[in-house]
Chain A
Amino acid sequence: MKKFLAVLMLAVTGLVAFTADTPGYKVGDIATDFKLKNVDGKTISLANYKSAKGYIVVFTCNHCPYAKAYESRIMDLDKMYASKGYPVIAISPNDPVSEPADSFDNMKKRAAEKKYTFPYTIDETQDITRTYGAKATPHVFVLQKTDKGNVVKYIGAIDDDTENANPNRTKYVENAVNALLSGKAIETSTTKAIGCSIKWKKGA
């Protein structure tokens, strides 16, 4: 029994350590591809985009006031950069049980209503969210396609003014993608993703 308890304890601590110790990507890391269900019923992978130079991966959702505030700017990013080789791929990281507004049906509605020009996928297992290290919605990862894989070039916020009140705000994602397109170094490659926390599955 003692031995069993010891093994159990070890398993539990191992599990806790494992789940807690997932800091996610840093700039320079190779980002994994994924297979996520899109609102149109198709499965989306980065590899589907043969002619892309990279990707603007945005963890976002329906319910969060920050995600809502940024929605039109996310749509603009796709309009600005998809044709230049950097499409937006939106991923909803939230558990619909914890946040029913973020259910797949509600995502479909939102995407249709707003006529999203980019995929709006759901990370049902939350594995991609965990692997990337998304902490909030919205949280952006700009990836550049290279021979080695998709390299993380920028992580963080879209800009420094969620409320869209300051015309002189710093547009981090635009600056990063523009730098990549012109072969220059990215000035600010990491910022804080300010928004709503990820709604994780309970007891997962």
Chain B
Amino acid sequence: MSKRFIFSMLFTICFTVAFAQSNPVRLLTIQQLEKRISNPDTVYVVNFWATWCGPCVKELPNFDQLQTTYKNKPLKVLLISMDFKSKFNEVKAFAKTRKLVSEVFLADKTNEQAFIDGIDKSWSGALPGTLIVNTKKHFRKFYEQEFIYTELNKLYQTNK
């Protein structure tokens, strides 16, 4: 077996693995989101961010850390990009290069005001924002702020 063959095999395997692991980004309407987070068996931590929002990009690893730490628990972290729909490819590329482990979506909104009001009446629309939902406990709260990991973890522990 030639060295070259092994190299190309290795390359193919690496490429396939990377491809299989790359995080698919999907479009999500407010109705689809509501349906998803109404599942009473899971606690949802939904973060709203954008690729152009510095503080958002900075805190994304904290949400991934939460998802990784509790990957065997009924917790789902959903990262919903509020980028423009015309930036779908940029969001996909971002999710890939940053190796985001949580589920990533791009908000599909025909009416921005309705989308933001639908998430929470109190939300000004500023990013980042985070919604925590535990339907079983009738808990739903929106936080228009940034989070460090310990705060996020504490909030999850309190409301799980």
Name the contact of B110 in the complex, choosing from A135, A161, A192 (C-beta under 8 A).
A161
Residues in A whose Cβ lies below 8 Å from that of B125:
136, 192-195
Q: How many residues of B contact A (CB 8 A)?
A: 17
Tell me if B89 is interfacial: C-beta within 8 Å of chain A.
no
Tell me if B114 is interfacial: C-beta within 8 Å of chain A.
yes
Q: Interface on chain B toward A: helix, strand, loop, or mixed SS?
A: loop
Tell me the nearest residue of chain A to B53, going by C-beta: A196
Chain B, range 119-140, C-beta contacts under 8 Å to A: 123-127
| Docked-complex contact B84 and A162, CB < 8 angstroms | yes
Tell me if B86 is interfacial: C-beta within 8 Å of chain A.
yes
| Docked-complex contact A194 and B112, CB < 8 angstroms | yes
Residues in B whose Cβ lies below 8 Å from that of A165:
85, 110
Type the 1/0 row for A64-108, where 1 means its CB is closer than 8 Å to any CB of B: 010001000000000000000000000000000000000000000
Tell me the nearest residue of chain B to A64, going by C-beta: B52
Q: Interface on chain A toward B: helix, strand, loop, or mixed SS?
A: loop
Name the contact of A160 in the complex, choosing from B84, B113, B124 (C-beta under 8 A).
B113
| Docked-complex contact A193 and B124, CB < 8 angstroms | yes
| Docked-complex contact B112 and A162, CB < 8 angstroms | yes
Q: Shortest distance in angstroms between B112's beta carbon and chain A's nearest beta carbon?
A: 5
Q: Shortest distance in angstroms between A26's beta carbon and chain B's nearest beta carbon?
A: 14
Separation of A160 and B84 alpha carbons in the complex (Å): 13
Most A CB within 10 A of own CB, among B52, B112, B116, B124: B112
| Docked-complex contact B111 and A135, CB < 8 angstroms | no
Residues in A whose Cβ lies below 8 Å from that of B112:
157, 160-162, 194
Residues in A whose Cβ lies below 8 Å from that of B116:
192, 194
Separation of A197 and B110 alpha carbons in the complex (Å): 22
Tell me the nearest residue of chain B to A191, going by C-beta: B113
Can you report 15 residue pairs joining A to B where beta carbons are below 8 Å apart? A135-B124, A135-B126, A157-B112, A157-B113, A160-B112, A161-B112, A163-B84, A163-B86, A191-B113, A192-B113, A192-B117, A192-B124, A192-B125, A194-B112, A196-B52
